[in-house]
Amino acid sequence: MLSLGQLSQMVKEHLGLYTSDDGILHFSKWVIAESSVAGRGLFATEDILPGEVLFVDHPLISGPRAASIEIEPHGCTVCCKIDAENTFKCPKCGLLLCSEQCQSDNVHFNDCNVISRWVFKIPVEDFDYRTVPRALTAIRALLLNDDQKQLLSALQAHVLPQHGTEIRDLQEYFEIPESEVEFMRLACCVLDANAYQIATAYGKKEMSRRGLYPVSALMNHNCVPNTKYSYNSEAQMTVKASKHIQAGTEIFTCYSGFLWGTPSRQAQLYKTKHFLCKCDRCADPTERGTMLAALKCFSTECPGNLLPIQPLNTTSAWQCLECGLRVPRKNIGAVQSAVGSLLGSVNFGSVDSLEKFLTTRITKYIPKTNQVVVDLQCCLIWEFGEAEGLRWHELSEGRLALKESLCRGTLRTAAALGAGDAHLRGRLLYHLHAALAERARRCPDQYEELKPEIESTIEQAYSILQGDISAPPDLDLRHLGFKINTVSKSARTADGSSQNIIGMMNIPVTCDDNTHTVSFMVYFDHNSVTLTLGGHRQRTPSRPIDHRLNKLHQRSAQDRTVPRALTAIRALLLNDDQNNYFPPFKPMCYLNTEQKSGTCKNTLKYQKGRLALKESLCRGTLRTAAALGAGDAHLRGRLLYHLHAALAERARRCPDQHNVKNLMFIPYAQNDFDGYTAKIKQVIDPWGFNVTGLHSYPDPEQAVYSAKAIFIGGGNTFLLLKRLYENNLVNLIKTRVDEGNLLYIGSSAGTNVATKSIHTTNDMPIIFPPTFEAISIVPFNINPHYIDKVESETHKGETRDQRIEEYIEMPHAAPVLGLREGSILHVNGNQLAIKGIAGAVLFKKGDKKTELAVGEDVSFLCRYEQDENST
């Protein structure tokens, strides 16, 4: 066994030959160390930001996945193309090939050279064509040099009898030296423990491959990983942080299906990796409120869900969250088997059959949150808009709406699980973007309303999927911003002919560090395509568009921005298989640029973070000036001007941010939903807002997702939090608020659930939610209706201070902000301020109670969680 130092040195040498796309080695931010999870692991040595490259790994060996050979038996062992009609056995080694070109390839030459030197026990023509390809990846391990073999041997290996069977099968055909047999068996055991399935190019039908990536193999498993990985055309694996990773934290990947429920993940991990996961997600019966494993209660009159009482115990009984019914594990297994049999009746090759099964049958037997339903939803998401006969323009309105709804629902589930910028989220965002863009194409009058989400979804999808071989081929082009302004509107060209406007493409490009926005209006009629570019107009027959664009390219050669933009237009208008014309555009954050004296004047320079920073700096400096008694000094005037400009820019970007007309009220803290909502409407409607109760919507998740502002009223905090979890709203609300897409107002119990936990509520626990952990919009606790001790009062029980101090002593305690009647905590991003008429008090472990006056800035409380994690 190699020491950690020796292994680290070998890993450095392995990675030293490869860099990421930015040309920088990414070894300095992590180390190999002992892990409390399992043996060795990777640990961050400094904070790592989401999207940051950790390393670029390459496979020691790669080849067909042994298990896939049974399903895809006619794949070429060189190019991996599946071609049952043209594949043939190599007469020297028995490997399957699809062409003479692959037979003469260096890859096959090396494979054949190893195999052909063994003594054949039977003629090649009598070989089972699956046997040799199943063992091919292990056979290729014999081609490694001594250092590579040592690195392979240092990795974890499964030694149970079921591993390495492909080598035993191979020995039926060949007499192989024992040393080679033993090393190939070791390679099989190491592959089964560590190999990754290599992604294929988007839309290509190829034989499934696996690769042994030695650095990636050192990452341990967690069901909520903090990394993601992608592949390029050379099978290199780029591993990036999918979320913020703090220094000292272990770096995890996920060995199982991310959207599987805990029982399924545990079964798969135990069968293939021989361990049971004990992560926080696995220990939570609700799996962060997603209910992926939930089954319907066996009591026909109960609408509740069954979940395991002790999810880390595979024999645990299950219990209904609503009526408390307990069900033995063996009965749960019978239901799960019945669901599996029901799935066996589905024709997955028919989208019609799949859609009917999802929408009319399966949810009769299991909840809509169950992993089976979620998996079926994903199947339909990938098919709608992509499959033959179901292209975007061919989708019915109902299917387009269904796809959009399924994308949103699955994105909410992924967000609740803490997916971060995982590959799955990128794919879902891409498909949601495409659905919204298609809706805008069909309904041009909805474009302005849909535009912000169309742009934000493709921006996020591009950030996650860029450079990934499995990314959709039009990802780059969509990201450049093909904006559909009008569809099928008649337009007259200069010669008087009638044409239809397809849309407009605005492309920001960079030349010599200057930024230009190049706009094209694209027209079409039955025989031609017309492009309007600045002052240029070129009418072209639709087929030879590439040739005509080249002519326009030459005519516009003096404008260096034009050729790159034309290349993008060409990629749009040509067939999909010619999208390799697409250039490597540099993504830009600047808008509304103009050329002046050879330089770019940028009327919008600030990214979202910089705009917020400017606003924050203005406010902070204004407070300092006010404290110094600046009055109406010139400095104050300048600061007010810049604060005004920042606020105006924010309003320009988010025109609806301060124009909320509809307020969604969540009455879950009380039982009379209609009566409670009516009281709120009576007060708030006269202010010019339209109040609606969440209980009046058939789908609470969709209603909250579409809302711009919500108000959660007071009542019993325990009842409120339970209902929020039951409707999958806790993580959804937090995500929407964190993204800046939802305004949150809470009073009393509604304030309690907005904090880290409900431990400091004043209410009685009349019912139990799944957990006391709440929405966590702020990382501390609040005690609403805080009452100061009155010395003369006759009450002899505990004071409010004493109860809060009892909580503060607990190891899991967060700071507690006591809000007096008439006080408000105003939260704006990372800015917190006490407003109202009565002020507040702050309790922190080890500190005395602190008085906070009205108007006081308490933004330091937002840093509590970060400060705690860094100590």
pLDDT at 742 over 60: yes
534 versus 78: the higher-pLDDT residue is 78
> Nearest 5°: CA angle at 478, between 472 and 479?
105
pLDDT of residue 300: 84
Q: What pLDDT is stored for residue 220 in this prediction?
A: 94
Is the pLDDT confidence value at 567 over 70? no
Q: What pLDDT score does 404 carry?
A: 93
What pLDDT was estimated at residue 492?
37
- The reported pLDDT for the residue numbered 239 is 93
Flag whether pLDDT at 687 surpasses 50: yes
User: pLDDT tens, 79-136?
Assistant: 988 877 788 999 999 999 999 999 999 999 999 999 999 999 999 888 888 889 999 9
Task: Taking each helix axis as running N to C, give the angle between helix 146-153 and helix 4-15, from 0 to 180 degrees, rounded to the nearest 10.
Answer: 130
pLDDT of residue 1: 67
Q: Residue 250 belongs to what H/E stretch? A: strand 250-253
Which is more confident, 526 or 402?
402
Q: What is the pLDDT of residue 864?
A: 63
What mean pLDDT is predicted for residues 49-54? 89
How far is the CA of 623 from the CAs of 755, 832, 852, in angstroms? 27, 14, 16
Residue with tokens 């115990």: 313
| Whether 784 contacts 752, CB under 8 Å | yes
pLDDT score at 212: 95
- Say what the pLDDT of residue 652 is: 63
**In contact, 788 and 764? CB cutoff 8 Å:** no
Whole-number pLDDT of residue 479: 77
Query: DSSP string spanning 544-587?
Result: THHHHHHHHHHHTTTSTTHHHHHHHHHHHHS-GGGGGG---PPP
Q: What is the pLDDT of residue 87?
A: 86
Task: Compute the average pLDDT of residues 237-263.
Answer: 92
Percent with pLDDT over 90 in the chain: 41
Nearest to residue 462, comparing CAs of 450, 474, 445, 479? 479
pLDDT tops 90 at residue 694: yes
Q: What is the DSSP string of 703-714?
A: HHHH-SEEEE--
- Considering only 544-548, 671-675, 727-731, which range has the smallest mean pLDDT? 544-548
452 has a pLDDT exceeding 80: yes
List, as one string, the DSSP characters of 21-44. Answer: TTS----TTEEEEE-SSSSEEEEE
Query: Which of 448-462, 481-495, 732-746, 749-763 reaches the highest mean pLDDT?
Result: 749-763
| Mean pLDDT across 676-694 | 88
Q: Report the pLDDT averaged over residues 815-820.
A: 93
Fold of 662-870: Rossmann fold (3.40.50)
pLDDT for 320 beyond 90 = yes
Range of weakest confidence among 54-68, 503-517, 627-641, 710-724? 503-517
Q: How confident is the model at residue 345 (pLDDT cuts 50, 70, 90)?
A: confident
Closest Cα to residue 292, out of 220, 178, 368, 371?
A: 371
**Residues that are catalytic:** 748, 763, 785
Q: Quick one: pLDDT at residue 859?
A: 86
Pick from 822, 814, 755: nearest CA to 788: 822
Sign of the dihedral through C-alpha 75, 77, 79, 85: negative
> Higher-confidence residue: 104 or 830?
104
φ, ψ of residue 850 in degrees (nearest 5): -115, 130
Q: Which helix (H) or strand (E) holds 211?
A: strand 209-211
pLDDT value, residue 624:
81
Query: What pLDDT does 532 receive?
Result: 43
Arithmetic mean of pLDDT, 246-257? 92
Q: Report the distance separating Cα 850 and Cα 861, nearest Å.
A: 13
Residue 748 has pLDDT above 90, yes or no: yes
* C-alpha span between 750 and 165 (Å, rounded): 59
Could you give the strand order of the β-sheet that contains 850-852, starting from the edge strand earlier in sequence? 781-786, 816-820, 840-843, 850-852
pLDDT tens, residue by residue, 641-656: 888 888 777 766 665 5
Euclidean distance between CA atoms 540 and 493, whole angstroms: 13
Among the listed residues 507, 562, 508, the one whose alpha carbon sits nearest the alpha carbon of residue 535? 562
What pLDDT sits at residue 651? 66
The mean predicted confidence, pLDDT, of the chain is 80
Q: Which of 481, 483, 518, 513 is nearest to 501 (CA)?
A: 483
Angle at 272 between CA 212 and CA 372, to 5 degrees: 110
Instruction: Output the six-digit token pair for 423.
Output: 């590959």
Per-residue pLDDT at 209 exceeds 70: yes
Does residue 866 register a pLDDT over 60?
Answer: no
Percent of the chain with pLDDT over 70: 80
For 794-810, how does the pLDDT look when each residue is reduced to its tens digit (9 = 90+)?
667 788 889 999 998 89
The dihedrals phi and psi of 208, each to the nearest 5 degrees, come to: -70, 135
| The domain over range 4-58+213-254 is classified in CATH as 2.170.270.10 | yes
Q: Where are the domains of the chain?
A: 4-58+213-254, 64-210, 280-482, 495-598, 606-653, 662-870
Tell me, what's the pLDDT at 260?
A: 92
CA 399, 457, 737, 743 dihedral sign is negative
Q: How many CA atoms lie within 13 A of 359 on its CB side?
A: 13
Tell me the whole-structure pTM to 2 decimals.
0.60
In sequence order, the β-bridge partners of residue 483 are 504
Q: Tell me the average pLDDT across 72-77.
A: 77
User: Rounded mean pLDDT of 374-399?
Assistant: 90
Q: How confident is the model at residue 520, as a pLDDT?
A: 45
Q: State the pLDDT at residue 480.
A: 65
